[in-house]
Amino acid sequence: MRRGLFVVFEGIDASGKSTQARRVAALHAAHFAFEPGDSTLGADLRRWLLDASLHMEPETEALLMLSDRSHHVRSVIEPALERGRDVVLDRYFASTLAYQGYGRGVDLEELRVATQLAIGTCMPDLTILLDIDLDVANERRERDAKDRFESADLDFHARVRDGYLELARTYADAWFIVDGSKGEDEVAAAIDERLSHLSWSHG
Ligand code: TYD
């Protein structure tokens, strides 16, 4: 049986990636999933990870993200792909490189090695980066209670954004950058045009 298609959405908070990821999954009848926290084990990890009142070292944060990912890949993503099901995932290992690596300063090479342990050979066919300016992100972000990452300072988010752009340029064949500051329909059209070149199981 043909392996399913694996498409990942990445971007800083408020980039609009979750809306687009869910839309694309529905359009192609693909399995939609997200990280961190899209499993029974992951739901507990997500609570700790997002709790802004809980002190955590950057390395600890990275390892919890990777724990969630290794369980998610082996219990959900890989089995779905092997069954021939297409998978659309909201955040994957590039989030850890961007947030914990570029953002928090965890050593990138060590993160890459640990990531390999977490995901094995389960690589996406395409990663779509919704890139937005930090001012646009700030305007969009709600002013109410913020989680650990939303409450981080502007410099942190600037490093995360730059990290994403560096990853996208380094692995240009497997990434597609979309200007996420455009209107939702325009962003959707750019994404759909790129995704129309892939062979989906449905539509
Ligand atoms: P997410 O649920 O995608 O939130 P949002 O919709 O606001 O983007 O992710 C929650 C937070 O977790 C987000 O701020 C990014 C952070 N994160 C990391 O720092 N490292 C990771 O590996 C992942 C998957 C997420």
CA distances from 89 to 6, 125, 200 (A): 8, 11, 15
Answer whether residue 202 is part of any domain.
no
Closest CA to 92 of 128, 58, 51, 56: 128
Residue of the CA atom closest to atom 22 of ligand 1? 96
Q: Which amino acid is at 86?
A: D
Answer whether residue 203 is part of any domain.
no
What pLDDT score does 146 carry?
84
What pLDDT score does 144 carry?
64
The verdict on the CB of residue 149 being under 6 Å from ligand 1 is yes
Percent of the chain's residues with pLDDT above 70? 98
CA 195 to ligand 1 centroid distance, Å: 23
Q: How much is the average pLDDT of 166-183? A: 97
Q: Which amino acid is at 139?
A: E
CA 35 to ligand 1 centroid distance, Å: 7
CA 2 to ligand 1 centroid distance, Å: 31
**From 10, 12, 13, mutation site for ligand 1 pocket: most ligand atoms within 8 A of C-beta:** 13
Percent of the chain's residues with pLDDT above 90? 90
What pLDDT score does 143 carry?
63
* pLDDT tens digits for range 112-171: 999 999 999 999 999 999 999 999 998 887 766 789 999 888 899 999 999 999 999 999
| Residue 203 confidence (pLDDT) above 70 | no
What's 69's domain CATH number? 3.40.50.300
Domain of 25 in residue numbering reads as 6-195
Closest CA to 73 of 104, 113, 38, 110: 38
What pLDDT score does 140 carry?
85
Q: 0.85 exceeded by the pTM?
A: yes
- Tokens describing residue 98: 């961007």
* Cβ proximity of 124 and 7 under 8 Å: yes
* pLDDT tens digits for range 63-121: 999 999 999 999 999 999 999 999 999 999 999 999 999 999 999 999 999 999 999 99
What pLDDT score does 138 carry?
86
CA distances from 75 to 25, 83, 119 (A): 19, 13, 11
* Cβ proximity of 70 and 79 under 8 Å: no
| Close Cβ partners of 173 (under 8 Å, ≥ 6 residues apart) | none
Q: How many domains, the chain?
A: 1
* pLDDT tens digits for range 7-51: 999 999 999 999 999 999 999 999 999 999 999 999 999 999 999
The verdict on the CB of residue 60 being under 6 Å from ligand 1 is no
CA 114 to ligand 1 centroid distance, Å: 18
* pLDDT tens digits for range 188-202: 999 999 999 999 998
Distance (Å, whole) CA 37 – CA 190: 29
What pLDDT score does 75 carry?
97
Closest CA to 9 of 127, 119, 125: 127
